[in-house]
Amino acid sequence: MANVGGMDRVLRFIVGIVLIVVPFVAPSVAALSGLGVWAWVVGAVGLVMLLTAVFRFCPAYVPFGIKTCDR
């Protein structure tokens, strides 16, 4: 049962990749600013966004009845 489609899926994929890469690109900046743990939280959020794009299903959409796909 897909509820993510089209542009929503593309944006989730792109933002997810960017958020996953953040902890690896700037680990020293995050550590110096005291955001080391938050950098990994951002990476985890990116992973969730990537997975929702790949599987075309967002559990957060279900309670609100949101569907961005044409099906």
User: What is residue 62's predicted lDDT score, i.e. its pLDDT?
Assistant: 94
48 vs 34, more confident: 48
Closest CA to 9 of 63, 51, 66, 41: 51
Q: What's the pTM?
A: 0.80
Cα-based angle 37, 44, 64 (whole degrees, multiple of 5)? 125
- Is residue 37's pLDDT more than 80? no
Distance of CA 47 to the CA centre of its chain: 5
**3-class SS of residue 35:** coil
- % of residues, the chain, pLDDT over 70: 83
